[in-house]
Structure 1
């Protein structure tokens, strides 16, 4: 397989591939740019799709630049959005950025990755320079963006600062003098702006490589932190395995292709298996990438114990009644589960109960305020498919 064929693998589009290959044939060490905005503390499997592509460039010996958008994160990328993103404070962005590198280096080789921050140049830019940047783009051109066009047509507000985002991302390419920019397919417009700004600056235009958007746990929307349908690099082995097992069968094959990067022949072999078996193999493989093969296999055993053999998991969290309720003889079910701190919020606990997803000693309970009394020996609570809690006397 040629270098171009390798780089084309799984890519949705490549613009400027001839220029890229010409530079490679000339022996140039390319600058590969991949930008991430630390809008939330976690990187997701959606990021992994583009990280995998960057790994290919690292293996070929090119300079891979992970650009932390600490400045752009305070604006919020409008790509794929139907409304304005909430504004983050500098402190929130800084905290999120701190966690990104540890997570990114679970996929990328830290020794072969250059880390840059776009605050390096934007905090030095004065207002006249910013105005000169805006002169390089027209409103008509900006409204060619699909998401902006839809919002404009529906009279959904678009802030001027959102209009600036593609220019800001594009200017990053000028400052880095990038030869290639990687991103999801929803980033195409922004990356093409980078090519235009480089041309205006008298630089060679970067090649743009877009990767498919990974479908989230809901099986329909792209995986994103804002949609809450994501698997995080920081998820525990248990949560990661369980979330992977929750995806639908059609989505599973995208995960094989884009995350494990197996070829069509391997996927065809797995399609001969029972879908459940193929999904377990996927879950073990991905969990092992972030934890260990031993932990991946352990979570498979625990999953089979619960779902195939109807047995309780060995490692469920255990609390004493004293830890949960103190001296109170009973507590509402909602409050009991909330005090375990195993759930993101009391609202989430209530949603699970009202949807009939909570069982007390194998009996379904749908009343959030049903009293739970101190057990004579123990209570076993199950919330959803994966969360089990034992409360002992």
Structure 2
């Protein structure tokens, strides 16, 4: 197909290939991907690009935007994004990385989580140009004979090659038969929608490759798989995850997104620019070059990175304000312009650790004592030195914990 393109089409092919393959961990198989792009250009027919989601939790963080940014690039070239809500597969739950079977979701949980996904995804991709599908539409209609036919496409030995199933089998932990059907059903989604491309994280390789297998079984053209890298969270070690507390949520306040971004390890700056930032390839390459030659300080690079995240999620004005507030609070040691206010209904005097817990600034008194010991608690900008100190609660008193938490107390 590539040799049938004219010069203009060939340049378009190279442009799409350069952008769409950028930052991808692996393309399976690479040659077929280029052929699909060429065929799309030649026939003026957009590719169908699939992303499957089991809405197991309602919160989206910047780790999710790695694949969303890639979908946005596909949209930019006029390709069709197929967003699949796994309302049927979600009742089994993806076993990837799990040592026990997942708890099945109810219909209400699926619908609630899906709605919040749409709202949050819309901050990155154009949801008006997305094909939205619920896989119960076809999976709930499959008869048992068809299920048996699908099951014949894979062996138990192949399933046990998966790390999660392998470890559970070796450790004599239960593996339920229905869990084996999850990747098969995910593969059937690709057949039902005639998907050309499927995106997923590197931890999803086993699942997404089933799409090719099922499509081949039914005599359809096989999809190409693009695996995106997983991004480490704020700790620089573990994959970004809400359960690990190392995440930046897309619905967090702009100033919190900015502040959290400034705390990422320097070693992750380039990776965050490449995979999460909405900046162009050329802009990212310039950041990398100036970081490498020392003309760009890591702190300034993180300022640019943080502003790009807030701009992507809230707009340029919010990015500017968040940047200015960060400079005021953390570099000039000033108070933020806007501080959340809390009506204080308690007594006039209270132990500082009790106050911190009552305000929800810290989860426990022991955490309060630790934070005070480390010099992380201030009242009206004065550092608290004694964890057993009693404080006089006054109107408009400002309590600060760490670098980002501020509360102004109001008394009636």
- Same fold, TM-score > 0.5, yes or no: yes
- Work out the CA distance in 2 between the residues paired with 1:165 and 1:153: 21
- Work out the CA distance in 1 between the residues paired with 2:35 and 2:99: 39
Contact 2:86/2:136, CA 8 A, preserved across alignment = yes
Per-residue CA distance 1:303-352 (angstroms, 9 max, x = gap): 12222122222211123xxx2225x34455566445546x6xx7x35564
* 1:7–1:125 CA distance, 2 compared to 1 (3 A): same
Match of 2:117 among 84, 97, 100: 100
Q: Which residue of 2 aligns with 1:87?
A: 104
- Work out the CA distance in 1 between the residues paired with 2:248 and 2:191: 33
> Which shifted more, 355-364 or 144-153?
355-364
The alpha-carbon deviation at position 46 of structure 1 amounts to 1.5
Q: Which residue of 2 aligns with 1:17?
A: 30
Q: Which residue of 2 aligns with 1:146?
A: 163
Per-residue CA distance 1:357-378 (angstroms, 9 max, x = gap): 65142334785x9755432x54
Contact 2:48/2:79, CA 8 A, preserved across alignment = yes
Contact 2:27/2:33, CA 8 A, preserved across alignment = no
Q: What secondary structure sits across from 1:313 in the alignment? A: coil
- Work out the CA distance in 1 between the residues paired with 2:227 and 2:141: 30
The alpha-carbon deviation at position 117 of structure 1 amounts to 1.2
* 1:288–1:349 CA distance, 2 compared to 1 (3 A): farther
Matches within 5 A, 1:277-292: 277-292=300-315
The alpha-carbon deviation at position 158 of structure 1 amounts to 3.2
* 1:325 counterpart = 2:342: no
RMSD of aligned residue pairs (Cα, Å) = 2.5
Q: Which residue of 2 aligns with 1:4?
A: 17
Match of 1:380 among 375, 390, 398: 398
Q: Which residue of 2 aligns with 1:264?
A: 285
Could you list the runs of 5+ residues in structure 2 that have no partner in the other structure? 1-13
The alpha-carbon deviation at position 282 of structure 1 amounts to 0.7
> Which shifted more, 142-151 or 281-290?
142-151
> Which shifted more, 258-267 or 134-143?
258-267
Could you list the runs of 5+ residues in structure 1 that have no partner in the other structure? none
Q: Which residue of 2 aligns with 1:189?
A: 206
- Work out the CA distance in 1 between the residues paired with 2:355 and 2:143: 55
* 1:389–1:84 CA distance, 2 compared to 1 (3 A): same
Q: Which residue of 2 aligns with 1:117?
A: 134
* 1:24–1:280 CA distance, 2 compared to 1 (3 A): closer
* 1:13–1:379 CA distance, 2 compared to 1 (3 A): same
Contact 2:212/2:222, CA 8 A, preserved across alignment = yes
* 1:243 counterpart = 2:260: yes
Contact 2:356/2:368, CA 8 A, preserved across alignment = no
* 1:227 counterpart = 2:244: yes
Q: Which residue of 2 aligns with 1:356?
A: 371
- Work out the CA distance in 1 between the residues paired with 2:22 and 2:106: 38
Q: Which residue of 2 aligns with 1:312?
A: 335
* 1:390 counterpart = 2:403: no
Q: Which residue of 2 aligns with 1:171?
A: 188
The alpha-carbon deviation at position 101 of structure 1 amounts to 1.1
> Which shifted more, 191-200 or 254-263?
254-263
Contact 1:81/1:147, CA 8 A, preserved across alignment = yes
Q: What secondary structure sits across from 1:66 in the alignment? A: strand
* 1:230–1:126 CA distance, 2 compared to 1 (3 A): farther
The alpha-carbon deviation at position 171 of structure 1 amounts to 1.4
- Work out the CA distance in 2 between the residues paired with 1:363 and 1:159: 55
Q: What secondary structure sits across from 2:371 in the alignment? A: coil
Matches within 5 A, 1:208-223: 208-223=225-240
The alpha-carbon deviation at position 385 of structure 1 amounts to 2.1
> Which shifted more, 377-386 or 286-295?
377-386
The alpha-carbon deviation at position 86 of structure 1 amounts to 3.7
* 1:41–1:332 CA distance, 2 compared to 1 (3 A): farther
Per-residue CA distance 1:90-142 (angstroms, 9 max, x = gap): 21221110111121122112232111111222233344443433232211101
Aligned length: 383
Per-residue CA distance 1:277-302 (angstroms, 9 max, x = gap): 11111101111111122211211221
* 1:370–1:162 CA distance, 2 compared to 1 (3 A): farther
Q: Which residue of 1 aligns with 2:4?
A: none
Normalised to the residue count of structure 2, the TM-score between the two structures is: 0.85
